[in-house]
Structure 1
Amino acid sequence: MEAALRQLLSCIDSGRRDAASAALERLQHACRAAASTAAVEVPGERSLDRLLRHLCQAGGSALATKADFITCKSSNWALLALLTVPAVADAFLTEGRVTALIDALEALGGCEEGGAAGRGGVLEMRLWLLSDSLGSVATALTEQRSGPVGGAPLITPAQLALAGVIARPAVVRALLRAALTQQSTELSAGDPLSAVEAALLVADHVQRCATPASHAAPSEPPSSAADPHAAARATWQGADADWLCEALPPLLALRLGEARSRPGTVLGEAELREHAALFVA
Protein backbone atom coordinates (compact mmCIF):
# COMPACT_ATOMS: atom_id res chain seq x y z
CA MET A 1 0.00 0.00 0.00
CA GLU A 2 2.82 2.39 0.88
CA ALA A 3 4.66 1.67 -2.37
CA ALA A 4 1.49 2.08 -4.44
CA LEU A 5 0.66 5.40 -2.79
CA ARG A 6 4.18 6.71 -3.29
CA GLN A 7 4.10 5.70 -6.95
CA LEU A 8 0.76 7.45 -7.47
CA LEU A 9 1.96 10.65 -5.80
CA SER A 10 5.14 10.64 -7.89
CA CYS A 11 3.10 10.24 -11.07
CA ILE A 12 0.88 13.14 -10.06
CA ASP A 13 3.93 15.29 -9.31
CA SER A 14 5.45 14.57 -12.72
CA GLY A 15 2.18 14.90 -14.62
CA ARG A 16 2.24 11.32 -15.96
CA ARG A 17 -1.50 10.75 -16.26
CA ASP A 18 -1.44 7.26 -17.80
CA ALA A 19 1.03 6.04 -15.21
CA ALA A 20 -1.05 7.69 -12.48
CA SER A 21 -4.12 5.72 -13.58
CA ALA A 22 -2.18 2.44 -13.34
CA ALA A 23 -0.76 3.42 -9.93
CA LEU A 24 -4.25 4.29 -8.70
CA GLU A 25 -5.54 0.86 -9.75
CA ARG A 26 -2.63 -0.74 -7.90
CA LEU A 27 -3.46 1.27 -4.77
CA GLN A 28 -7.14 0.36 -4.97
CA HIS A 29 -6.23 -3.32 -5.33
CA ALA A 30 -3.92 -3.09 -2.29
CA CYS A 31 -6.72 -1.51 -0.24
CA ARG A 32 -9.18 -4.23 -1.24
CA ALA A 33 -6.66 -6.89 -0.28
CA ALA A 34 -6.05 -5.21 3.08
CA ALA A 35 -9.72 -5.68 3.98
CA SER A 36 -9.10 -9.42 4.44
CA THR A 37 -5.65 -9.13 6.03
CA ALA A 38 -5.04 -9.08 9.77
CA ALA A 39 -1.74 -7.17 9.60
CA VAL A 40 -2.18 -4.03 7.51
CA GLU A 41 0.72 -2.00 6.18
CA VAL A 42 -0.24 1.57 7.01
CA PRO A 43 1.40 4.24 4.82
CA GLY A 44 3.84 6.49 6.63
CA GLU A 45 3.05 9.99 7.85
CA ARG A 46 5.10 11.59 5.07
CA SER A 47 3.09 9.80 2.38
CA LEU A 48 -0.21 10.69 4.05
CA ASP A 49 0.90 14.33 4.33
CA ARG A 50 1.84 14.35 0.64
CA LEU A 51 -1.62 13.07 -0.23
CA LEU A 52 -3.16 15.80 1.91
CA ARG A 53 -1.12 18.47 0.11
CA HIS A 54 -2.40 17.22 -3.24
CA LEU A 55 -5.99 17.23 -1.97
CA CYS A 56 -5.59 20.83 -0.82
CA GLN A 57 -3.38 21.95 -3.72
CA ALA A 58 -4.12 25.54 -4.77
CA GLY A 59 -7.11 25.43 -2.47
CA GLY A 60 -7.22 29.19 -2.09
CA SER A 61 -6.46 30.09 -5.69
CA ALA A 62 -9.09 31.26 -8.15
CA LEU A 63 -6.68 30.45 -10.99
CA ALA A 64 -7.56 26.77 -11.13
CA THR A 65 -6.45 24.84 -14.21
CA LYS A 66 -7.44 21.56 -15.79
CA ALA A 67 -4.21 20.04 -14.46
CA ASP A 68 -5.20 21.14 -10.94
CA PHE A 69 -8.55 19.42 -11.36
CA ILE A 70 -6.96 16.18 -12.58
CA THR A 71 -4.59 16.26 -9.60
CA CYS A 72 -7.51 16.70 -7.20
CA LYS A 73 -9.45 13.92 -8.92
CA SER A 74 -6.65 11.36 -8.63
CA SER A 75 -5.96 12.37 -5.04
CA ASN A 76 -9.65 12.16 -4.19
CA TRP A 77 -9.93 8.60 -5.52
CA ALA A 78 -6.81 7.63 -3.61
CA LEU A 79 -8.32 8.99 -0.39
CA LEU A 80 -11.58 7.10 -1.01
CA ALA A 81 -9.62 3.86 -1.38
CA LEU A 82 -7.47 4.42 1.71
CA LEU A 83 -10.43 5.29 3.94
CA THR A 84 -11.94 1.86 3.30
CA VAL A 85 -9.12 0.36 5.37
CA PRO A 86 -9.89 1.14 9.06
CA ALA A 87 -6.27 1.19 10.21
CA VAL A 88 -5.29 3.57 7.42
CA ALA A 89 -8.35 5.75 8.03
CA ASP A 90 -7.40 6.05 11.70
CA ALA A 91 -3.86 7.06 10.73
CA PHE A 92 -5.04 9.69 8.22
CA LEU A 93 -7.80 11.19 10.35
CA THR A 94 -5.81 13.51 12.57
CA GLU A 95 -7.02 16.90 13.76
CA GLY A 96 -4.41 18.64 11.61
CA ARG A 97 -5.40 16.91 8.37
CA VAL A 98 -9.13 17.36 8.91
CA THR A 99 -8.59 21.03 9.71
CA ALA A 100 -6.44 21.45 6.60
CA LEU A 101 -9.22 20.02 4.40
CA ILE A 102 -11.77 22.35 6.00
CA ASP A 103 -9.47 25.36 5.56
CA ALA A 104 -8.86 24.48 1.90
CA LEU A 105 -12.58 24.13 1.22
CA GLU A 106 -13.30 27.46 2.93
CA ALA A 107 -10.57 29.18 0.90
CA LEU A 108 -11.70 27.65 -2.37
CA GLY A 109 -15.31 28.56 -1.65
CA GLY A 110 -14.28 32.14 -0.99
CA CYS A 111 -12.88 32.49 -4.52
CA GLU A 112 -16.37 32.95 -5.89
CA GLU A 113 -18.73 33.87 -3.06
CA GLY A 114 -22.36 33.10 -3.93
CA GLY A 115 -23.44 32.92 -7.53
CA ALA A 116 -24.79 30.06 -9.54
CA ALA A 117 -23.02 26.73 -9.81
CA GLY A 118 -20.97 26.14 -12.92
CA ARG A 119 -19.86 29.76 -13.28
CA GLY A 120 -16.36 28.92 -12.16
CA GLY A 121 -15.84 25.97 -14.55
CA VAL A 122 -12.86 23.93 -13.40
CA LEU A 123 -12.89 25.78 -10.08
CA GLU A 124 -16.44 24.53 -9.41
CA MET A 125 -15.43 20.97 -10.25
CA ARG A 126 -12.47 21.15 -7.88
CA LEU A 127 -14.77 22.54 -5.21
CA TRP A 128 -17.04 19.54 -5.68
CA LEU A 129 -14.11 17.11 -5.43
CA LEU A 130 -12.79 18.76 -2.26
CA SER A 131 -16.31 18.67 -0.80
CA ASP A 132 -16.51 14.98 -1.69
CA SER A 133 -13.19 14.37 0.08
CA LEU A 134 -14.43 16.14 3.21
CA GLY A 135 -17.68 14.16 3.04
CA SER A 136 -15.72 10.91 2.84
CA VAL A 137 -13.62 11.96 5.82
CA ALA A 138 -16.80 12.80 7.75
CA THR A 139 -18.28 9.39 6.95
CA ALA A 140 -15.10 7.67 8.13
CA LEU A 141 -15.18 9.70 11.34
CA THR A 142 -18.77 8.64 12.06
CA GLU A 143 -17.66 5.02 11.74
CA GLN A 144 -14.53 5.49 13.81
CA ARG A 145 -14.64 3.58 17.08
CA SER A 146 -13.02 5.25 20.03
CA GLY A 147 -12.84 4.43 23.71
CA PRO A 148 -13.16 1.07 25.46
CA VAL A 149 -15.62 -1.47 24.09
CA GLY A 150 -18.89 -1.05 25.97
CA GLY A 151 -17.71 2.17 27.59
CA ALA A 152 -18.71 5.76 27.01
CA PRO A 153 -17.85 7.01 23.51
CA LEU A 154 -15.00 9.50 23.28
CA ILE A 155 -14.69 12.55 21.09
CA THR A 156 -11.55 12.49 18.96
CA PRO A 157 -9.80 15.77 18.07
CA ALA A 158 -10.54 15.09 14.39
CA GLN A 159 -14.26 14.66 15.10
CA LEU A 160 -14.27 17.87 17.12
CA ALA A 161 -12.55 19.75 14.30
CA LEU A 162 -15.06 18.50 11.74
CA ALA A 163 -18.02 19.35 13.99
CA GLY A 164 -16.84 22.95 13.79
CA VAL A 165 -17.80 23.05 10.09
CA ILE A 166 -21.36 24.03 10.98
CA ALA A 167 -20.09 27.18 12.72
CA ARG A 168 -18.08 28.33 9.67
CA PRO A 169 -20.47 30.02 7.17
CA ALA A 170 -17.94 30.02 4.32
CA VAL A 171 -17.49 26.25 4.59
CA VAL A 172 -21.23 25.57 4.66
CA ARG A 173 -21.74 27.84 1.64
CA ALA A 174 -18.89 26.06 -0.16
CA LEU A 175 -20.54 22.69 0.56
CA LEU A 176 -23.81 24.02 -0.86
CA ARG A 177 -22.11 25.35 -3.98
CA ALA A 178 -20.47 21.96 -4.43
CA ALA A 179 -23.89 20.32 -4.08
CA LEU A 180 -25.28 22.64 -6.76
CA THR A 181 -22.39 21.73 -9.05
CA GLN A 182 -23.16 18.03 -8.59
CA GLN A 183 -26.82 18.64 -9.31
CA SER A 184 -26.31 20.84 -12.38
CA THR A 185 -23.62 18.67 -13.99
CA GLU A 186 -24.94 15.27 -12.86
CA LEU A 187 -21.47 14.35 -11.65
CA SER A 188 -22.77 11.45 -9.62
CA ALA A 189 -26.06 9.85 -8.68
CA GLY A 190 -27.64 10.25 -5.28
CA ASP A 191 -28.05 13.04 -2.80
CA PRO A 192 -25.83 16.08 -3.47
CA LEU A 193 -26.19 17.18 0.15
CA SER A 194 -24.56 13.99 1.46
CA ALA A 195 -21.36 15.85 2.44
CA VAL A 196 -23.41 18.30 4.52
CA GLU A 197 -25.28 15.38 6.10
CA ALA A 198 -22.04 13.61 6.96
CA ALA A 199 -20.68 16.71 8.71
CA LEU A 200 -23.95 17.10 10.62
CA LEU A 201 -23.81 13.49 11.79
CA VAL A 202 -20.38 14.12 13.27
CA ALA A 203 -21.65 17.32 14.91
CA ASP A 204 -24.58 15.37 16.38
CA HIS A 205 -22.17 12.72 17.70
CA VAL A 206 -20.02 15.36 19.36
CA GLN A 207 -23.09 17.00 20.89
CA ARG A 208 -24.39 13.71 22.31
CA CYS A 209 -21.02 12.84 23.82
CA ALA A 210 -20.46 16.30 25.28
CA THR A 211 -24.00 16.84 26.58
CA PRO A 212 -25.25 13.84 28.57
CA ALA A 213 -29.06 13.60 28.69
CA SER A 214 -29.03 13.70 32.51
CA HIS A 215 -27.66 17.24 32.52
CA ALA A 216 -30.87 18.80 31.27
CA ALA A 217 -34.48 18.48 32.34
CA PRO A 218 -36.87 17.14 29.68
CA SER A 219 -38.63 20.50 29.45
CA GLU A 220 -35.41 22.49 29.22
CA PRO A 221 -34.59 23.58 25.65
CA PRO A 222 -30.99 23.07 24.56
CA SER A 223 -28.80 26.14 24.54
CA SER A 224 -27.54 27.48 21.24
CA ALA A 225 -24.02 26.53 22.35
CA ALA A 226 -25.03 22.87 22.72
CA ASP A 227 -27.36 22.66 19.72
CA PRO A 228 -25.40 22.31 16.46
CA HIS A 229 -28.46 23.23 14.39
CA ALA A 230 -29.07 26.48 16.28
CA ALA A 231 -25.39 27.36 16.09
CA ALA A 232 -25.33 26.72 12.35
CA ARG A 233 -28.51 28.69 11.68
CA ALA A 234 -27.01 31.66 13.49
CA THR A 235 -24.06 31.70 11.08
CA TRP A 236 -26.40 32.39 8.15
CA GLN A 237 -27.39 35.85 9.33
CA GLY A 238 -26.33 38.31 6.68
CA ALA A 239 -25.67 35.62 4.04
CA ASP A 240 -26.63 36.10 0.39
CA ALA A 241 -30.38 35.55 0.83
CA ASP A 242 -31.23 35.66 -2.88
CA TRP A 243 -28.68 32.98 -3.71
CA LEU A 244 -29.85 30.79 -0.84
CA CYS A 245 -33.49 31.09 -1.85
CA GLU A 246 -32.57 29.96 -5.36
CA ALA A 247 -30.16 27.20 -4.33
CA LEU A 248 -31.85 25.44 -1.44
CA PRO A 249 -35.31 24.33 -2.63
CA PRO A 250 -34.13 21.86 -5.32
CA LEU A 251 -31.37 20.51 -3.07
CA LEU A 252 -33.72 19.97 -0.14
CA ALA A 253 -36.27 18.34 -2.45
CA LEU A 254 -33.60 15.85 -3.53
CA ARG A 255 -32.58 15.43 0.11
CA LEU A 256 -36.09 14.40 1.15
CA GLY A 257 -36.75 12.46 -2.06
CA GLU A 258 -33.72 10.27 -1.43
CA ALA A 259 -35.05 9.46 2.04
CA ARG A 260 -38.34 8.25 0.58
CA SER A 261 -36.73 6.16 -2.16
CA ARG A 262 -34.11 4.43 0.00
CA PRO A 263 -35.63 2.18 2.68
CA GLY A 264 -32.21 1.73 4.29
CA THR A 265 -31.27 5.40 4.33
CA VAL A 266 -28.97 6.56 7.11
CA LEU A 267 -31.50 9.10 8.40
CA GLY A 268 -35.28 8.96 8.39
CA GLU A 269 -37.32 11.67 6.68
CA ALA A 270 -38.21 13.33 10.01
CA GLU A 271 -34.52 13.62 10.90
CA LEU A 272 -33.73 14.94 7.45
CA ARG A 273 -36.36 17.64 7.87
CA GLU A 274 -34.68 18.57 11.15
CA HIS A 275 -31.35 18.82 9.38
CA ALA A 276 -32.98 20.86 6.63
CA ALA A 277 -33.80 23.43 9.32
CA LEU A 278 -30.06 24.09 9.43
CA PHE A 279 -30.55 26.34 6.40
CA VAL A 280 -33.55 28.25 7.73
CA ALA A 281 -32.30 31.41 9.42
Structure 2
Amino acid sequence: MNAKRQLGEFLQTRRSQLKPEDVGLATYGDRRRVSGLRREELALLAGVSSSYYSRLEQGQSSNASAEVLDALAGALRLDETERRHLHDLADGTRRRPTGRRVAPERVTPAVRQLIAAMGEVPTLVLGRHSDVLLWNRAGHALFAGHLDLDAPQRAQTRPNMAHLVFLDPHTRDLYVDWAAKARAVVGTLRMASGQHPDDPALAALIGELSVKSPDFSRMWVAHRVKSGGEPVYEMRHPLVGLMSVTQQSLRTELGQNVVIATTEAGSPSHAAMTLLMHASAAH
Protein backbone atom coordinates (compact mmCIF):
# COMPACT_ATOMS: atom_id res chain seq x y z
CA MET A 1 0.00 0.00 0.00
CA ASN A 2 1.34 3.40 -1.01
CA ALA A 3 0.93 5.85 1.87
CA LYS A 4 0.91 8.98 -0.28
CA ARG A 5 -1.70 7.49 -2.59
CA GLN A 6 -3.84 6.46 0.39
CA LEU A 7 -3.70 10.00 1.78
CA GLY A 8 -4.60 11.52 -1.58
CA GLU A 9 -7.46 9.09 -2.18
CA PHE A 10 -8.87 9.74 1.29
CA LEU A 11 -8.83 13.51 0.77
CA GLN A 12 -10.30 13.27 -2.73
CA THR A 13 -13.07 10.87 -1.66
CA ARG A 14 -14.11 12.98 1.31
CA ARG A 15 -13.99 16.18 -0.76
CA SER A 16 -16.30 14.61 -3.35
CA GLN A 17 -18.81 13.74 -0.62
CA LEU A 18 -19.26 17.37 0.50
CA LYS A 19 -21.59 19.75 -1.32
CA PRO A 20 -21.10 23.53 -1.29
CA GLU A 21 -24.31 23.99 0.70
CA ASP A 22 -22.98 21.56 3.34
CA VAL A 23 -20.23 24.03 4.20
CA GLY A 24 -22.07 27.29 3.58
CA LEU A 25 -20.61 28.13 0.16
CA ALA A 26 -22.76 30.03 -2.32
CA THR A 27 -22.74 28.68 -5.90
CA TYR A 28 -24.96 31.32 -7.56
CA GLY A 29 -26.42 28.70 -9.88
CA ASP A 30 -23.15 27.91 -11.68
CA ARG A 31 -22.88 24.59 -13.48
CA ARG A 32 -20.46 22.31 -11.65
CA ARG A 33 -18.39 19.71 -13.46
CA VAL A 34 -17.30 17.84 -10.32
CA SER A 35 -19.24 16.06 -7.63
CA GLY A 36 -18.73 17.68 -4.28
CA LEU A 37 -16.36 20.54 -3.53
CA ARG A 38 -13.68 21.74 -5.91
CA ARG A 39 -10.07 21.55 -4.73
CA GLU A 40 -9.77 25.30 -4.53
CA GLU A 41 -12.95 25.53 -2.45
CA LEU A 42 -11.68 23.04 0.11
CA ALA A 43 -8.29 24.77 0.20
CA LEU A 44 -10.04 28.07 0.88
CA LEU A 45 -12.05 26.56 3.73
CA ALA A 46 -8.90 25.05 5.26
CA GLY A 47 -6.83 28.21 4.84
CA VAL A 48 -4.15 26.66 2.62
CA SER A 49 -3.09 27.44 -0.93
CA SER A 50 -4.87 25.63 -3.73
CA SER A 51 -1.56 24.46 -5.25
CA TYR A 52 -0.37 23.02 -1.92
CA TYR A 53 -3.62 21.16 -1.37
CA SER A 54 -3.51 19.82 -4.93
CA ARG A 55 -0.03 18.39 -4.31
CA LEU A 56 -1.29 16.63 -1.18
CA GLU A 57 -4.24 15.11 -2.99
CA GLN A 58 -2.07 14.04 -5.92
CA GLY A 59 0.43 12.30 -3.63
CA GLN A 60 3.22 14.78 -4.40
CA SER A 61 3.79 16.09 -0.88
CA SER A 62 4.51 14.49 2.48
CA ASN A 63 5.20 17.44 4.73
CA ALA A 64 1.74 18.43 5.98
CA SER A 65 1.94 19.79 9.51
CA ALA A 66 -0.44 18.81 12.30
CA GLU A 67 -2.03 22.26 12.05
CA VAL A 68 -2.69 21.87 8.33
CA LEU A 69 -4.12 18.38 8.84
CA ASP A 70 -6.44 19.65 11.56
CA ALA A 71 -7.56 22.48 9.30
CA LEU A 72 -8.30 20.02 6.49
CA ALA A 73 -10.14 17.75 8.93
CA GLY A 74 -12.30 20.66 10.00
CA ALA A 75 -13.04 21.69 6.43
CA LEU A 76 -13.96 18.09 5.54
CA ARG A 77 -16.21 17.79 8.61
CA LEU A 78 -14.32 14.73 9.88
CA ASP A 79 -15.18 13.21 13.24
CA GLU A 80 -12.51 12.42 15.81
CA THR A 81 -11.87 8.89 14.53
CA GLU A 82 -11.55 10.13 10.95
CA ARG A 83 -9.27 12.95 12.10
CA ARG A 84 -6.90 10.42 13.74
CA HIS A 85 -6.96 8.35 10.57
CA LEU A 86 -5.97 11.40 8.52
CA HIS A 87 -3.00 12.00 10.84
CA ASP A 88 -2.03 8.31 10.60
CA LEU A 89 -2.05 8.50 6.82
CA ALA A 90 0.11 11.61 6.86
CA ASP A 91 2.55 9.99 9.30
CA GLY A 92 2.82 7.05 6.92
CA THR A 93 3.95 9.31 4.09
CA ARG A 94 6.88 10.49 6.22
CA ARG A 95 8.09 7.04 7.27
CA ARG A 96 10.59 5.15 5.19
CA PRO A 97 9.87 1.46 4.70
CA THR A 98 12.15 -0.55 6.98
CA GLY A 99 12.14 -3.71 4.92
CA ARG A 100 11.97 -5.72 8.14
CA ARG A 101 9.54 -8.60 8.49
CA VAL A 102 6.59 -7.91 10.76
CA ALA A 103 6.84 -9.94 13.95
CA PRO A 104 4.15 -12.61 14.45
CA GLU A 105 1.37 -11.49 16.74
CA ARG A 106 1.03 -13.01 20.18
CA VAL A 107 -1.46 -12.78 23.00
CA THR A 108 0.06 -11.74 26.31
CA PRO A 109 -0.54 -13.73 29.51
CA ALA A 110 -2.51 -10.79 30.91
CA VAL A 111 -4.93 -10.84 27.97
CA ARG A 112 -5.27 -14.64 28.27
CA GLN A 113 -6.20 -14.14 31.92
CA LEU A 114 -8.79 -11.57 30.89
CA ILE A 115 -10.37 -13.93 28.37
CA ALA A 116 -10.42 -16.75 30.92
CA ALA A 117 -12.08 -14.44 33.46
CA MET A 118 -14.90 -13.59 31.02
CA GLY A 119 -16.36 -17.06 31.61
CA GLU A 120 -19.56 -17.45 29.57
CA VAL A 121 -19.40 -13.96 28.07
CA PRO A 122 -18.52 -14.36 24.35
CA THR A 123 -15.07 -12.83 23.86
CA LEU A 124 -12.39 -12.92 21.19
CA VAL A 125 -9.07 -11.21 20.46
CA LEU A 126 -8.48 -9.76 16.99
CA GLY A 127 -5.03 -8.91 15.64
CA ARG A 128 -4.02 -6.04 13.39
CA HIS A 129 -5.26 -7.93 10.30
CA SER A 130 -8.54 -8.96 12.02
CA ASP A 131 -7.13 -12.46 12.57
CA VAL A 132 -8.76 -14.27 15.50
CA LEU A 133 -5.83 -14.78 17.85
CA LEU A 134 -7.89 -16.20 20.70
CA TRP A 135 -11.51 -16.83 21.67
CA ASN A 136 -13.24 -18.45 24.57
CA ARG A 137 -15.74 -21.25 24.09
CA ALA A 138 -18.62 -18.78 24.25
CA GLY A 139 -17.06 -16.51 21.63
CA HIS A 140 -16.50 -19.48 19.36
CA ALA A 141 -20.12 -20.60 19.77
CA LEU A 142 -21.52 -17.16 18.97
CA PHE A 143 -19.30 -16.06 16.10
CA ALA A 144 -18.05 -19.23 14.41
CA GLY A 145 -19.43 -22.41 15.89
CA HIS A 146 -19.09 -24.08 12.48
CA LEU A 147 -15.29 -23.83 12.71
CA ASP A 148 -12.77 -25.78 14.78
CA LEU A 149 -12.61 -24.50 18.35
CA ASP A 150 -8.81 -24.80 18.31
CA ALA A 151 -8.34 -23.01 14.97
CA PRO A 152 -6.88 -19.77 16.46
CA GLN A 153 -4.08 -21.72 18.14
CA ARG A 154 -2.33 -22.34 14.82
CA ALA A 155 -1.19 -19.46 12.61
CA GLN A 156 -1.99 -21.37 9.42
CA THR A 157 -5.61 -22.09 10.47
CA ARG A 158 -6.51 -18.86 12.26
CA PRO A 159 -9.88 -17.51 11.15
CA ASN A 160 -9.91 -13.95 9.87
CA MET A 161 -12.97 -11.92 10.81
CA ALA A 162 -12.93 -9.79 7.65
CA HIS A 163 -12.61 -12.93 5.54
CA LEU A 164 -15.51 -14.55 7.41
CA VAL A 165 -17.81 -11.53 7.11
CA PHE A 166 -17.33 -11.15 3.37
CA LEU A 167 -16.66 -14.68 2.14
CA ASP A 168 -18.23 -17.10 4.63
CA PRO A 169 -21.99 -17.80 4.14
CA HIS A 170 -22.49 -18.81 7.79
CA THR A 171 -21.11 -15.51 9.09
CA ARG A 172 -23.02 -13.49 6.51
CA ASP A 173 -26.27 -15.11 7.62
CA LEU A 174 -25.52 -14.31 11.29
CA TYR A 175 -26.21 -10.60 10.79
CA VAL A 176 -29.72 -9.39 9.96
CA ASP A 177 -28.19 -6.10 8.76
CA TRP A 178 -25.11 -7.63 7.21
CA ALA A 179 -24.15 -4.39 5.43
CA ALA A 180 -23.78 -2.54 8.74
CA LYS A 181 -21.39 -5.19 10.06
CA ALA A 182 -19.50 -5.25 6.77
CA ARG A 183 -19.02 -1.48 6.82
CA ALA A 184 -17.64 -1.69 10.36
CA VAL A 185 -15.17 -4.38 9.30
CA VAL A 186 -14.01 -2.31 6.32
CA GLY A 187 -13.66 0.73 8.57
CA THR A 188 -11.47 -1.23 10.94
CA LEU A 189 -9.23 -2.36 8.07
CA ARG A 190 -9.04 1.23 6.80
CA MET A 191 -7.74 2.37 10.18
CA ALA A 192 -5.24 -0.49 10.23
CA SER A 193 -4.00 0.38 6.74
CA GLY A 194 -3.29 3.93 7.91
CA GLN A 195 -1.39 2.70 10.96
CA HIS A 196 0.52 -0.05 9.10
CA PRO A 197 0.94 1.09 5.48
CA ASP A 198 3.96 -1.16 4.91
CA ASP A 199 2.44 -4.39 6.27
CA PRO A 200 2.51 -6.90 3.37
CA ALA A 201 0.09 -9.33 5.02
CA LEU A 202 -2.49 -6.59 5.47
CA ALA A 203 -2.04 -5.50 1.85
CA ALA A 204 -2.47 -9.12 0.73
CA LEU A 205 -5.70 -9.48 2.73
CA ILE A 206 -7.15 -6.28 1.26
CA GLY A 207 -6.14 -7.39 -2.22
CA GLU A 208 -7.74 -10.82 -1.79
CA LEU A 209 -11.00 -9.37 -0.49
CA SER A 210 -11.07 -6.77 -3.28
CA VAL A 211 -10.79 -9.51 -5.90
CA LYS A 212 -13.14 -12.04 -4.32
CA SER A 213 -15.87 -9.76 -2.96
CA PRO A 214 -17.49 -7.01 -5.05
CA ASP A 215 -19.16 -5.79 -1.85
CA PHE A 216 -15.79 -5.30 -0.17
CA SER A 217 -14.33 -3.57 -3.22
CA ARG A 218 -17.24 -1.13 -3.34
CA MET A 219 -17.05 -0.35 0.38
CA TRP A 220 -13.25 -0.06 0.38
CA VAL A 221 -13.13 2.74 -2.18
CA ALA A 222 -15.53 4.82 -0.03
CA HIS A 223 -12.64 5.40 2.45
CA ARG A 224 -14.88 5.19 5.51
CA VAL A 225 -13.20 4.48 8.83
CA LYS A 226 -14.82 2.81 11.81
CA SER A 227 -16.61 5.28 14.03
CA GLY A 228 -16.62 5.12 17.80
CA GLY A 229 -19.42 3.80 19.94
CA GLU A 230 -20.70 0.37 20.83
CA PRO A 231 -22.62 -1.10 17.88
CA VAL A 232 -25.69 -3.25 18.54
CA TYR A 233 -26.32 -5.94 15.94
CA GLU A 234 -29.34 -8.14 15.38
CA MET A 235 -27.82 -11.61 15.08
CA ARG A 236 -29.72 -14.61 13.70
CA HIS A 237 -28.00 -17.60 15.28
CA PRO A 238 -28.84 -21.00 13.74
CA LEU A 239 -29.18 -22.64 17.19
CA VAL A 240 -31.13 -20.08 19.22
CA GLY A 241 -32.60 -17.60 16.77
CA LEU A 242 -32.65 -13.81 16.98
CA MET A 243 -30.58 -11.86 19.51
CA SER A 244 -29.79 -8.18 19.94
CA VAL A 245 -26.04 -8.22 20.72
CA THR A 246 -23.80 -5.33 21.74
CA GLN A 247 -20.22 -5.77 20.52
CA GLN A 248 -17.77 -3.71 22.57
CA SER A 249 -14.06 -3.39 21.77
CA LEU A 250 -11.13 -2.88 24.14
CA ARG A 251 -7.68 -2.12 22.74
CA THR A 252 -4.66 -3.83 24.29
CA GLU A 253 -1.18 -2.37 24.70
CA LEU A 254 -0.07 -4.37 21.64
CA GLY A 255 -2.78 -2.80 19.49
CA GLN A 256 -5.05 -5.83 19.47
CA ASN A 257 -8.81 -5.60 19.95
CA VAL A 258 -10.68 -7.59 22.59
CA VAL A 259 -14.27 -7.92 21.36
CA ILE A 260 -16.88 -8.61 24.04
CA ALA A 261 -20.48 -9.53 23.13
CA THR A 262 -23.23 -8.82 25.65
CA THR A 263 -27.03 -8.75 25.80
CA GLU A 264 -29.40 -6.74 27.96
CA ALA A 265 -30.10 -8.47 31.27
CA GLY A 266 -33.60 -9.92 31.49
CA SER A 267 -34.26 -9.57 27.77
CA PRO A 268 -35.26 -12.34 25.33
CA SER A 269 -31.82 -11.87 23.77
CA HIS A 270 -30.18 -12.58 27.12
CA ALA A 271 -32.24 -15.76 27.48
CA ALA A 272 -31.24 -16.87 23.98
CA MET A 273 -27.58 -16.14 24.69
CA THR A 274 -27.74 -18.13 27.94
CA LEU A 275 -29.26 -21.05 26.04
CA LEU A 276 -26.46 -20.86 23.48
CA MET A 277 -23.81 -20.82 26.20
CA HIS A 278 -25.32 -23.89 27.88
CA ALA A 279 -25.45 -25.69 24.53
CA SER A 280 -21.80 -24.87 23.80
CA ALA A 281 -20.67 -25.97 27.28
CA ALA A 282 -22.31 -29.38 26.71
CA HIS A 283 -20.04 -30.10 23.73
TM-score by length of 1: 0.25
**Greater relative contact order (Cα < 8 A, sep 6+):** 2
Tell me which structure has the larger Cα radius of gyration: 2
TM-score by length of 2: 0.25
